Chains A and B, each alone.
Chain A
Amino acid sequence: MFLETILIAMREIKRNVMRSSLTILGIVIGVAAVITMVTVGDGATRQVAYEISSLGSNLLDVRPGQSHRGPGGTRSGAPMFKIADAEAIERDVAGLAGVAPITGRSSQAIYGNENWATNITGSTNNFLQVRNWVLSGGRQFTDGELRAGAAVCIIGATIHKQLFGEQDPVGRTIRLEKISCQIIGEFKSKGQSGFGTDQDDFVLMPLRTVQRRIVGNNDIFSISVSAKDGVSTEKVKEDIERLLRERRHLGKKEEDDFNVRDMQEIVKTLTGTTRLLTALLGAVAAVSLLVGGIGIMNIMLVSVTERTREIGIRLAIGAMEKQVLMQFLIEAVVLSCFGGIIGIILGIAAAAAGASALKVPLILNIGIIVIAFVFSAAVGVVFGFFPARKAALLDPIEALRHE
């Protein structure tokens, strides 16, 4: 009997393609919206995590100033680091993979008629390892260049594009502030960071060159530290803090006048934020799924009225209440499942389009697809039941007379 009822329901759906497609439109949109939102959101979360980790694995950033003042307020009052601080960290803190003292400032890079506003960063070869930079051409600094403060530089991909276009920049000379600087190497592009800034827009020079000839002091703006794999960044952070408090002669009651930022914490915070955002968008989309369900109920109710005579015929011919109920219920469930499937396909397509437009990876979350499908089937049951019951309880005599 159940099979017969399914058969009847399927025939009815097939007979009314227009009505059926209108009925499922809400579900299709709802499911597609949920899947698109969640998939793109997941991709964005993954992308943020990936980009931050591309800054450097197990990276800790040590800066003077107090953390709660936020960026901008960091330099006020607190003494800057010197090269000796970086050397002390390298010497006294265990479990480090590399320490890179960093200084720099924003400036212009000029080549021929081209001119580009960029950042000059001064550091050592450790910078490459600590911040995960790979050379796409040329070489690193030599010890001699580092010691002497030679006028050499390694440029980011953006500088290449802006100043040299298609030409090979290695070996050429650009002007940075008052110095002519030979390009000895080029970084492989990392693209946009999770914060939306261009990571490739900088020029790396030996620390000493920048200190002496660009900035004009011996300060270290920040120290980037990377922990060895398997070493707890938490522990390294504590060790650095203890060491720096000692070196800066801070009493027990004094606050840190520097801060050590653990990138993994930032990764956690940021991915947490994107996840929350994804959940919110998903929830909004879920509301549209609910609205889609109400749409199904609406059209099913109209359809029961419109099909009163058909129901009368079926009842007269010998359909039992539960068969009519099942027929309409199955119609609703089949329709909403069908809508769910179309919605899933559309949602994945839209997510793929959205992911490529936003340049985030496409990560299909099977869980959410299953949930969206089950939910759409449930919508069919819940919102199909009321119209189905209305149909089943019709009086056959009245129903047959219905025009």
Chain B
Amino acid sequence: MITPPSGTGNMYPVIELNGVTRVYGTGTAAVGALQGIDLKIEHGEFVAVMGPSGSGKSTCMNILGCLDTPTSGAYRFKGIEVGKLSRDQRALLRRHYLGFVFQGFNLLNRTSALENVELPLIYRGTPATERREMARKALASVGLNGWETHTPAELSGGQQQRVAIARAIVASPEVLFADEPTGNLDSARSREIMELMTVFNRDRGITIVMVTHDSDMASYARRIVRFMDGIIDKEEQNGS
């Protein structure tokens, strides 16, 4: 397991990007998806990342989620430089500090809601009874009491996304990354999901970074970061 420098507390921001670039391909075919990003996200923030397709926001999310590493520049997660970690070390970082919610839900098929939510705990090595209890509580916290044994195919889109959120927060992550979490849902379902996320952000202090196209959804966030052509075009605070 990767631990941040001891005694640091919240001395470091959760996320800190300094001049991060990401180039795909080499030579003349090289495409710079990110061209120097500076970004700082503090504990407990709710940040929406917006921008048109190809603006680099997905690339940036992959780097923030420790699924990818910068070509140059530094990404520090709680003070740890992620670019210098091995693949497995980054897996451990994700396991212990990060949660993911995807546009396509990405639940395991033919697998009950409870077992889907248990998944991150299995990799953490949580004992079975404790694991089941935690998963049940997480499902309850997203309003899916009594749906434990249903498989994704038996759940509506909104319910599937709730299961995905339960899976993302069951291990109490530091940061929840949501990639267009409402992209496949109607507006009523979308608002429910956003409210759930707001609750987790406010009550549990989970930092949320969310990519969205929809400015209604972005309005739930306290800060909006707009990408354009591989750089951060502008940042704005939500008034509310």
Contacts and interface: CB of A to CB of B under 8 A. Distances in A.
A7 B106 CA distance: 21
B125 interface: yes
Interface string A1-24: 100100110010001100000000
Interface in A378-403: 396-397, 400
Interface in A42-96: none
A397 B62 contact: yes
A11 B151 CA distance: 14
B62 to A, nearest CB: 5
Nearest to B107: A313
Nearest to B106: A313
Contacts, number: 60
Contact of A317 (B87, B110, B115, B123): B123
A315 B65 CA distance: 12
Interface of A is mostly: helix
Contact of A396 (B67, B92, B96, B111): B67
A397 B64 CA distance: 12
Given A15-B111, A309-B106, A317 B95 contact: yes
B119 interface: yes
B154 to A, nearest CB: 14
A310 B108 contact: yes
B147 to A, nearest CB: 18
Contacts of B115: 11
A318 B106 contact: no
A19 to B, nearest CB: 11
A209 B2 CA distance: 103
Interface in B68-109: 68, 87-88, 91-92, 94-96, 98, 100, 102, 106-109
B91 A4 contact: no
A4 B108 contact: no
Contact of B122 (A7, A16, A313, A320): A7
Interface residues of B, number: 28
A284 B100 CA distance: 52
Contacts of A310: 108-109
A346 interface: no
A213 interface: no
A321 B124 CA distance: 15
A11 B112 CA distance: 11
B120 interface: yes
A400 B119 CA distance: 16
A397 B115 CA distance: 23
Given A321-B91, A397-B62, A316 B110 contact: no
A7 to B, nearest CB: 7
B88 A321 contact: yes
Interface in B115-133: 115, 119-120, 122-125
A16 B110 CA distance: 8
Contacts of B92: 318, 320
Contacts of A317: 94-95, 100, 119-120, 123, 167
Contact of A4 (B62, B98, B125, B167): B125
Among the interface residues A1, A312, A313, A400, which one has the most CB atoms of the partner chain B within 10 A? A313
B91 A320 contact: yes
A400 to B, nearest CB: 7
Contacts of B111: 11, 15
B123 A318 contact: yes
A319 B87 CA distance: 10
Among the interface residues B102, B110, B123, B124, which one has the most CB atoms of the partner chain A within 10 A? B123
A4 B124 CA distance: 9
A190 interface: no
Contacts of B167: 317
A317 B123 CA distance: 8
A245 interface: no
A314 interface: yes
Contacts of B62: 397
A323 interface: yes
B88 A318 contact: no
A37 B95 CA distance: 51
B106 A321 contact: no
Nearest to B131: A4
Contact of B91 (A8, A15, A318, A397): A318
A317 B100 CA distance: 7
A376 B159 CA distance: 43
B110 A318 contact: no
Contacts of A321: 87-88, 91
Contacts of B123: 4, 314, 317-319, 323
B68 A315 contact: no
Given A4-B122, A397-B68, A318 B108 contact: no
A1 B124 CA distance: 8
Interface in B158-195: 167
Contacts of B108: 310, 313
Interface of A: 1, 4, 7-8, 11, 15-16, 309-310, 312-323, 396-397, 400
28 contacts: A1-B125, A4-B122, A4-B123, A11-B115, A16-B110, A309-B106, A312-B106, A313-B106, A313-B107, A313-B119, A314-B119, A316-B94, A316-B100, A316-B106, A317-B94, A317-B95, A317-B119, A318-B95, A318-B120, A318-B124, A319-B95, A319-B123, A320-B88, A322-B88, A323-B123, A396-B67, A397-B62, A397-B67
